[in-house]
């Protein structure tokens, strides 16, 4: 179940390019830490705020790329990232991680988004693997306990989306302006799942195991529908309040659920997640992908209208999710889709002129030039993780 040698070579070449870009374009030499924003043309936006999602994803990416290839020499930049998180994003009064800082490092959005706490865990564990810094490991464990203490709904189950800086209730819990103001979301649960999976590998603890088992059950009981798409937004009592299907989240969840079951080492859960992944992948190929056209963004089931924009991250998440299913089935249609999506990505989403990847392109493959190369939501995490994952199959 190997891919052509040229496929692996192109993955390695692009992984090298990702390292070069982020090593050379992300550091804030003037104000410390990392820049808040570079625009489409790779120009620095002065005084841009610094977001926790970019900063945790940078720590994760630099660490995992260093693990992949020590010749990248990313230990120092990973340490810079860890130190900046500790000195500026860490709330030393109320615990947890602030959402957003000014360019100088002062909290401007001190709210506690659970999505961000989960990324804190995920990135700290990856940093611990390259540094063996016990402080990073202990901090990750403390964030786990923080999420379990404040965010876990002890009555209805699931995790509440966000809180004020002191962990009191928050009215507007949205991750971003385009999201619904929903108290429970598939996206946040997905990234708690990925964080707890990583934590269990370095901290074999009964509480982490049970929390991860509970998350897998929630994905099957609450999020996965009968058509094998994942529902996205709910109120506190699990009333569904959205009608969209996100193709990228569907296929990303397929493989992350398998990884979670394997971390628990539960054969029944492994079988459950693997069987579901095949059905999720088939549904994904039916609705969210067209040969030669990449992966679409989402489907609105009310209007039956497909958003045909191609965002950068669903392309690579699709490659990983389909790779898992190809390994399970040995069926060529999954392999062919992977190679086709990668071909599309190389031609239309990697920006050969300005560097990095386009945030998204329209149905005619024209990039949106008002969107950034580096910002709160534009980081090297999705693409570096996917390429490394696929390179491991060589």
Residue 326 has pLDDT above 90, yes or no: yes
Residue 211 pLDDT: 98
pLDDT (average), residues 106-115:
97
* Contact between residue 33 and residue 80 where contact means Cβ atoms under 8 Å apart: yes
Q: What is the CA radius of gyration of the chain?
A: 20
Candidates 209, 299, 307, 344; CA nearest to 263 is: 209
pLDDT digit string (tens) for 310-319?
999 999 999 9
Distances (CA, A) of 1 to 99, 330, 390: 42, 7, 12
> What's the number of CA atoms in the CB half-sphere (13 Å) around residue 267?
0
Q: Other CB atoms closer than 10 Å to residue 59's CB: what's the count? A: 29
pLDDT digit string (tens) for 153-205?
999 999 999 999 999 999 888 877 777 789 999 999 999 999 999 999 999 99
247 Ramachandran zone, left/alpha/beta (phi>0; psi -120 to 50): alpha
Phi and psi torsions of 307, nearest 5°: -80, 110
pLDDT digit string (tens) for 197-250?
999 999 999 999 999 999 999 999 999 999 999 999 999 999 999 999 999 999
Mean pLDDT of the chain: 97
Residue 350 has pLDDT above 90, yes or no: yes
Residue 248 pLDDT: 98
CA–CA gap between residue 329 and residue 279 (Å, rounded): 12
Query: What's the first-to-final CA gap in the chain, in angstroms?
Result: 9
CA–CA gap between residue 62 and residue 123 (Å, rounded): 9
CA–CA gap between residue 111 and residue 99 (Å, rounded): 6
CA–CA gap between residue 344 and residue 338 (Å, rounded): 10
Residue 1 pLDDT: 67
**Domains defined for the chain, CATH in brackets:** 5-391 (1.50.10.10)
CA–CA gap between residue 295 and residue 317 (Å, rounded): 10
pLDDT (average), residues 149-153:
98
pLDDT (average), residues 309-328:
98
Record the tokens describing residue 376, joined without a space.
Answer: 């709160």
pLDDT digit string (tens) for 251-273?
999 999 999 999 999 999 999 99
Judged by DSSP in three states, 382 sits in: helix
């Amino acid at each position: 179940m190997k891919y052509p040698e040229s496929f692996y070579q192109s993955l390695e070449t692009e992984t090298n390019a990702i390292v070069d870009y982020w090593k050379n374009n992300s550091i804030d030499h003037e104000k410390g830490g990392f820049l808040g924003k570079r625009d489409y043309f790779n120009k620095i936006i002065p005084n841009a705020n610094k977001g926790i999602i970019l900063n945790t994803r940078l720590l994760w990416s630099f660490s995992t790329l260093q693990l992949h290839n020590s010749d990248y020499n990313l230990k120092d930049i990973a340490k810079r990232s860890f130190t900046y998180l500790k000195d500026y994003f860490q709330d030393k009064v109320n615990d947890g991680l602030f959402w957003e800082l000014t360019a100088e490092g002062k909290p401007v959005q001190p709210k506690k988004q659970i999505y961000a706490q989960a990324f804190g865990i995920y990135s700290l564990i990856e940093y611990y693997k390259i540094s063996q810094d016990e402080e990073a490991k202990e901090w990750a464990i403390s964030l786990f306990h923080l999420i379990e203490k404040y965010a876990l709904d002890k009555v209805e189950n699931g995790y509440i989306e966000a809180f004020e800086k002191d962990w009191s209730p928050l009215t507007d819990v949205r991750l971003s302006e385009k999201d619904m103001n929903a108290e429970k979301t598939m996206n946040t649960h997905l990234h708690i799942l990925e964080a707890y999976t990583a934590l269990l590998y370095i901290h074999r603890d009964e509480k982490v195991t049970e929390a991860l088992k509970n998350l897998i059950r929630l994905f099957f009981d609450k999020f996965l529908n009968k058509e094998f798409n994942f529902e996205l937004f709910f109120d506190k009592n699990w009333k569904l309040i959205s009608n969209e299907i996100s193709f990228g989240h569907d296929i990303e969840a397929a493989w992350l659920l398998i990884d979670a079951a394997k971390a628990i080492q539960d054969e029944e859960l492994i079988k459950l997640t693997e069987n579901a992944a095949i059905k999720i992948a088939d549904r994904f190929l039916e609705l969210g992908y067209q040969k030669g056209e990449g992966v679409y963004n989402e489907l609105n089931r009310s209007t039956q209208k497909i958003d045909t924009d191609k965002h950068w991250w669903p392309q690579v998440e699709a490659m990983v999710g389909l790779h898992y299913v190809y390994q399970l089935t040995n069926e060529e249609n999954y392999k062919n889709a992977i190679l086709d999506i990668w071909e599309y990505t190389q031609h239309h989403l990697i920006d050969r002129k300005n560097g990095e990847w386009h945030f998204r392109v329209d149905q005619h493959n024209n990039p949106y030039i008002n969107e950034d190369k580096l910002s709160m939501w534009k980081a090297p995490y999705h693409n570096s993780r996917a390429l490394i994952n696929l390179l491991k199959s060589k």
